Amino acid sequence: MAATKKGALKRGRWIVHLDESGFSQRPSVVRTWAPRGQTPVHKSAFNWKRLSAIGALGVAPDLMRVRVFVSLRPGSVDQQAVVSFLRSLRRHLRVPVLLVWDRLGAHIGRATREYLASQRHWLEVEWLPPYAPELNPVEYLWSHLNRTDLANYAPDDLHALEAQVKRSSRRVRRRDDLPLAFLKHSGLYPELSKVLCETQ
């Protein structure tokens, strides 16, 4: 993996890490503040629903720029959703890309494989090792969203949930240090320690 990453950066390719997740109307409950003697109470929908998300972190060859991409949709993530996300990614990144992801069913299905085969002029794929989610920096993006803006947040419907996720994603995009920190914590970019020091 390290050799592939270095080769891609030397050839001027952007490295894109991709992952899927889900957000629910039932909130992630974390410790919070309340007046003494008043226990915080969370109210959530009885028939709660989920919102699926596809996210990506795009790393520039100079390691100085990281772009954050998040796409939301009701229901589960299937091959059609993955291909649609990759098409949108191409519109935003008109450069050669090394795509790094796991072997989720939607990533190895026939429709996805056919699309990848037709995009070899700009898109190269590298597979993560099995059972190693900690190597995917997008996992740290999901964790950050759930521990901050989405913590203890119980929306009335999926529209409110989608709006909150979008607001939180935009906040991450506006900060240079957070996406770099997600990459560093994956262990795939030890050279980012110096870059993070310069951005702080």
The reply to whether 42 falls in a domain is no
The reply to whether 140 falls in a domain is yes
pLDDT at 63: 87
The reply to whether 35 falls in a domain is no
Asked if 125 and 15 count as a contact pair (C-beta separation under 8 A), the reply is no
The reply to whether 147 falls in a domain is yes
pLDDT digits (tens, 9 = 90+) for 129-182: 998 999 999 999 999 999 999 988 888 889 999 999 999 999 999 998 999 999
pLDDT digits (tens, 9 = 90+) for 101-126: 999 999 999 999 999 999 999 999 99
Asked if 186 and 137 count as a contact pair (C-beta separation under 8 A), the reply is yes
Domain count, the chain: 1
What domain range includes position 54? 2-24+47-199
The reply to whether 86 falls in a domain is yes
The reply to whether 30 falls in a domain is no
- Secondary structure, 3-state, 91-110: HHCCCCEEEEECCCHHHHCH
Q: Where are the beta strands (DSSP E) in the chain?
A: 14-24, 50-59, 66-74, 97-101, 123-127
pLDDT at 117: 97
- The CATH number of residue 143's host domain is 3.30.420.10
The reply to whether 62 falls in a domain is yes
